[in-house]
A and B are shown apart, each in its own frame.
Chain A
């Protein structure tokens, strides 16, 4: 089986975020980037499939920030080929990014495309369904685990619905899957293996051109949440606290 995995870098929320001079975007130069968590699960799922029944794992990523570190780690985990898409400047918004990924993946003739179902920078929609649309392939999202199916040309997936309802589906290949979680959490890669991968891994460059698309939405203003002092700590006996809650709710017009 030929698997393509999309890996994205997103701003690390542990580090302080800054807004750039325009006031409508993050200052990405000062941000540090981290692998998108559900993409990391997509990669883990691909490696698990490879270990279970043999597969070629192709990783596709946009070339910016410290993506190399993430890609060396992917190689150390067992990715077979790694493709970097060169960028002029900063990464495009999700829909445009999906088009880039689609162009880069098409020549790979992948049976299965795995991509994280969400990322915290997806302003105008998720990359995963856009990618399926751009590749004209069937799509199933919110997947928690993928297994080989007995019937050739299909794969068995576990999809999560709201309320933690799970369904096992049989999906015809080729297809795009939006991964929420792999069958097991992403594995730990020791530093020595990453360092070995740095010596042995050759990245392949894949330049792709797409017609620019209009963003579906534009940001007017980006600002940190204003901190107020609206919290009121209630104290006293249970009866007093209950009475005060009822009073507040009445004041706010929430109960009559």
Chain B
């Protein structure tokens, strides 16, 4: 009793011919659509650090084939591992993806089976044991697909998350409706076709069984045209008919398709004519829906089925802290982005996770990273492939300046993006154009002018930079004059802001007590330029960088130390090599030197036993991961180990580690006015998160800007006396036995 997949059961010849006409048309439309879309990516530029696009693509493709990259690709594209922090989304998406994939592969296999091996060689691959498991798998994954779609519908129409809605770009809870409905109907009609076919099988079996003798059975089978209905070779027809004549099943694998089988049992009472007509109707519906869906893929957001995996395969993993510069004078039109950036933009799935993570959006600023990406993408899709020079500027109606200036460059969006879109880089490239055109926020302009003139954002004399050290009670070395182990690159806030200065002095005392040999560049230190670069003033960044490198060249030191995560990020990632394609340059004053954040140094000193702490803090604290220490550079554990050594009970905020929530100072926002539409400053939002933790008395920070931002926020939310904002250095100093005066 050999089971085999029935070939075109109950499908009239005319319909079969129509199908053969339609298939190439559908495939051609699909291919044309995909080609149309892929060509859009290449209106972008080659990456400045690499050669032409063709060579770049080839090299990239070969890199993508390395086992490690390939494994990552399978994980991220086929198992959506980037969604792992959101179990519901992960499960829903995996269900839809795998349901769809298995059904599509199954259909492809069936096509090969009926239109190739059976047609030309009178041979079926979908037969016997394999066919039975095939039936079972397709039924189960059909159910998985429906489950995934039900979860999607539950989320879209009952939970209705804000991130799936946007007024501007056509993103709404209903944008996925046609696609999800089509998938649902395809799955349902698939089951119905199967059920009707099996129900007809039951009818045939009943009629054959009703015939009294062999002759009557043959006649009954002839009347039903049963031989012609098996569209296989004569010999295999004989086998089938013989089985049926002996009272065997028409479809021996029926029970291997549990859903279809169940439906068949329900539909069995229907008259035969109705079953056959309904079967043909469902068959057409199923086919046309599937064809429609295939043709629609390149023209809808379903294209992320192709573009997202392509982006995952063709991306270049670089350190997050090292900003690539697409265009020196900024991006004006979509053509100024690199092709990789355009691919990223086109890979966006509209999921809005970036928007949910964005501190600017949470504050009520006019920024949603997703809407920005979508605005660029819809412009891209309307851009002709052949350049005619009059591509409209992205600035103004498509991307508004206030949107770009609202970004804190905290990278929360990029971190959470399931498909590796680098929103902050798009924003900085666009900002660079505004800066080039002199269109900057008033506060920002003052800061930039101050950098140009004084090397700091405070508009203070460079000579005042080391003044904080005057009241220390012990001298700090001048690294330009004598050799030091650690050159302490202090940074603007730690040098000039009165409150941050206190902490700087405290940390200096800790280092002094621990016997660490540190020195300063004194008035010759200039702002390191991390945030200058991220507001888009690339020329100013280069200038500051050159000045600092020049001073280092004349100083003797073994390693660099800083308390400021922003400074840390750029010194660590953007000061080596030429700052762009960062190989280590042997002539660089940084060659062979480490850049350390003070939390890393304290951790190391504790490990070595050079620093001994009382371990007597004994209170519950929470720790805020600074964006540029944690998310940008992966330094999560050293500050936590120091807290542990202090004897503190660490209670984590819900958003911690890579999902830490920015204080709102990054990306140059600290120099700008509050953006229009502000509802709640990011720092206030964060302080409330800390206040909600039971028993926590202290919010520990490791960044001079965080200290200032959160101390202000504690006042504005009226929590003074409830929550202490303390730098990790302060706690260490207190634990060394000397209370901070």
Q: Which residues of A contact B (CB under 8 A)?
A: 12, 14-16, 34, 185, 187-195
Contact = CB atoms under 8 A, between A and B. Distances in A.
B440 A188 contact: yes
Interface in B430-475: 435-436, 438, 440, 442, 445, 448-449, 452-454, 459-461, 463
A57 to B, nearest CB: 16
Contact of A193 (B436, B445, B463): B436
B463 A16 contact: yes
Contacts of B461: 14-16
B403 interface: no
Q: Which 3 A-B pairs have the closest CB atoms?
A: A192-B539, A191-B539, A187-B438
Contacts of B452: 191
B438 A192 contact: no
A192 B442 contact: no
B540 A190 contact: yes
Contact of B537 (A185, A190, A195): A190
Interface size class of B (residues with CB under 8 A): 20 to 34
Given A14-B460, A14-B461, A192 B328 contact: yes
A189 to B, nearest CB: 6
B463 A192 contact: no
Contacts of B165: none
A161 to B, nearest CB: 26
B438 A189 contact: yes
B450 to A, nearest CB: 9
B8 interface: no
A190 B436 contact: yes
Nearest to B432: A190
B693 interface: no
A13 B438 CA distance: 26
Interface string B196-238: 0000000000000000000000000000000000000000000
A246 to B, nearest CB: 36
B543 A188 contact: no
Nearest to A12: B453
Given A14-B460, A34-B453, A193-B436, A188 B448 contact: yes
A185 B445 CA distance: 10
Interface in B451-509: 452-454, 459-461, 463
B329 interface: yes
B435 A14 contact: no
Nearest to A189: B438
Interface in B534-581: 537-540, 542-543
Contacts of B454: 14
B539 to A, nearest CB: 3
Given A14-B460, A15-B463, A188 B438 contact: yes
6 contacts: A12-B453, A185-B445, A187-B438, A190-B436, A191-B537, A193-B436
Nearest to B454: A14
Nearest to A185: B442
Contacts of B460: 14
B539 A190 contact: yes
Interface string B409-421: 0000000000000
Given A187-B438, A188-B438, A189-B438, 10 more contacts: A14-B460, A15-B463, A16-B463, A185-B442, A185-B445, A188-B445, A190-B538, A190-B539, A191-B542, A194-B539
A12 B440 CA distance: 24
B539 A14 contact: no
A15 B461 CA distance: 5
A69 B692 CA distance: 53
B455 to A, nearest CB: 12
A191 B543 contact: yes
Contacts of A34: 453
Nearest to B544: A191
Contacts of A12: 453
B449 A188 contact: yes
Nearest to A15: B461
A16 B462 CA distance: 11
Nearest to B459: A14
